[in-house]
Amino acid sequence: MKKDKSGCDLSTCMFCRLCVPEWRPAIQAHKQTYTVKKGGLLFKEGDPVQGIFFLFSGSVKVHKHWGEEKELIVRFARRGDIVGHRGVGSTQLYPVSATALEPVEVCFIPLEFFQASLKVNHEFLYAMMLFYATELQDSEQKMRNLVNMPVKGRVAYALLLLAEKFGQDAEGNIDLILSRQDLASYTGTTYETAFRVMSELIQEQAIAVSGKSIAVTDTAKLQVYSQLQ
Amino acid sequence: MKKDKSGCDLSTCMFCRLCVPEWRPAIQAHKQTYTVKKGGLLFKEGDPVQGIFFLFSGSVKVHKHWGEEKELIVRFARRGDIVGHRGVGSTQLYPVSATALEPVEVCFIPLEFFQASLKVNHEFLYAMMLFYATELQDSEQKMRNLVNMPVKGRVAYALLLLAEKFGQDAEGNIDLILSRQDLASYTGTTYETAFRVMSELIQEQAIAVSGKSIAVTDTAKLQVYSQLQ
DNA sequence: CGAACAATTGAAAAGATTCAAGAGTTGTGG
DNA sequence: CCACAACTCTTGAATCTTTTCAATTGTTCG
């Protein structure tokens, strides 16, 4: 791991990686690295935007709320991902919350410094634009799935996506501890329905559950459910 | 209307407006303006990305397909809006189609020139990044609505959004001729369901229909349906 | 141990889709 | 100007999916 003086892992921190060397000292001065424990909030929907977060380790869910009860998980983020960028734009408020699913180490960049960097560092700005463009594509792909797929297809699709993003061990276990409730919120359904669908998938030996982790055992079966048409 | 030599309306063309004056001649040389008739395609999902479109007049729907029958309208665009930017990113293919709802005049910028402009024009790049960020927020807002709102709420929300975006005349008619089928595709439901919901809203005098245009007559009632919680 | 919370299951209800069929519109060619 | 075909519009009824409610079991943790 290449780390800079403040302990920032250059291989995973997009911000530090993209900054030209001369800027490093300024970044050192502005960024803050700290940890958030499991269940802790990085920021909350409706809060004024303070800055951007880069994750060094751990994982978080990014979610939008609906009344007191309901939520929709928009995205999961892990080591190397950016969080809080959804606050950049017209409004001054975060449109989503970010909650740690396990202890996370974050690199926090205050908004003013982040924006100043964007203004000065063309490469970084370009990378950020591409990043937003990709996020937009993903978001709309997910939107179509939510609208046109039955729950089973959405769960299958979600598991394939998570397996790819978080990786799997030898047994196929996805490297993310995910509660049924969170899976339900991610696939836009209720806890009970998510549970029932999971049971079916286990029955069909498409997936397996051991302890708290979920394993994809038959990718092809899941692909059938998450297929177009 | 301030127009440049090629007939580009500077007040509505984000691209031309953001370009520094010295760049205008180069733009003139690269961009193409032409019209697409009603029902015509600007580009199709899966096509290789050729460039970006800026709309001078008319309106288009941006939609994703699902098998042969189903589609989800992701967004409507009008005068001044950008279309085709969803193709920018990892893949080389448009993730959506764009179809003219009425005759449109477009300013087409080939991708290479668009990207070259981004590389050179910092202001433009910054504006594009903010634009993507805003689109992302809108997309996720819509996603939450699709997941958590009943159809009636989604239709109500859609109509309020369209009224705001496209404007209304004295009678409240939204300045966009929208078929029930398109409204259904936009709200992620079927033609019949959209029809029934519209009938209810007419009954409740929240909206009115005269000819092909839809009028919002009682904003407050629609807001109740599209409300959070 | 007991309290709180997560998991599990069944049954009823709600919401939306699908199918089907008839009414109304539009456009075309004779 | 009418007849016909091809649409879109409109409505009812059956069906399916998903949610909701409710009740029971299992697990965790102070």
Q: Which position has the higher pLDDT, B47 or A24?
A: B47
Q: What is the pTM of this model?
A: 0.86
Domain at B2-144, CATH homologous superfamily: Jelly Rolls (2.60.120.10)
Query: For strand C, is any atom closer than 7 Å to the CB of B164?
Result: no
Contact B88/A at CB under 8 A: yes
How is B73-125 classified by DSSP, letter by letter?
EEEEEETT-EESGGG-SS-SB-SSEEEESS-EEEEEEEHHHHHHHHHH-HHHH
Cα–Cα dist A42/A83, whole Å = 9
Among B152, B227, B147, smallest CA distance to B194 is for B152
CATH architecture under which domain A149-225 falls: Orthogonal Bundle (1.10)
Tell me whether residues A72 and B132 touch, CB distance under 8 A: no
Within B23-121, residue ranges assigned H as helices are 24-30, 111-120
Q: At what angle do helices A151-166 and A122-148 cross, to 10 degrees?
A: 150
Residue A198 binned pLDDT confidence (cut-offs 50, 70, 90): very high
Q: Which residue of A has its CA nearest to B137?
A: A86
Statement: residue A225 has pLDDT above 50? yes
Q: Give the alpha-carbon dihedral of A178, A180, A186, A190, to 10 degrees.
A: -170
Enumerate the CATH 2.60.120.10 domain ranges in chain B, comma separated. 2-144
User: Which sign, positive or negative, has the C-alpha torsion A26, A30, A33, A38?
Assistant: negative
Predicted confidence at residue A135, as pLDDT, reads 87
Cα–Cα distance for residue pair B190/B70, rounded to 1 Å: 9
Provide the pLDDT confidence category of residue A206 given band limits of 50, 70 and 90.
very high
Secondary structure (3-state) at A209: strand
Residue A52 CA to residue B72 CA, distance in Å, equals: 32
Task: Give the CA dihedral A190, A195, A200, A206, nearest 10 degrees.
Answer: 100
Whether CB of A180 is under 7 Å from strand C: the answer is yes
Give the least confident one: A37-41, A85-89, A225-229, B204-208.
Answer: A225-229
Does residue A166 reach within 7 angstroms of strand C, measured from its CB? Answer: no
Which among B72, B86, B144 has CB closest to A64? B144
Nearest CB neighbour to B67, from listed A68, A139, A229:
A229
Considering chain B, what is the average pLDDT of its residues? 84
**Partners of residue B36 on adjacent β-strands:** B104
**For a pLDDT cut of 90, what percent of chain B falls above it?**
35
Place of tokens 């740690």: A100
Indicate where chain A has its CATH 1.10.10.10 domain(s).
Answer: 149-225
User: B54-77 pLDDT, tens per residue?
Assistant: 888 889 999 988 776 788 899 999
User: Any idea what the Cα angle at residue A52 is, between residues A176 and B128, rounded to 5°?
Assistant: 110
> How high is the pLDDT of residue B10?
58
Angstrom distance (rounded) from CA B194 to CA B151: 8
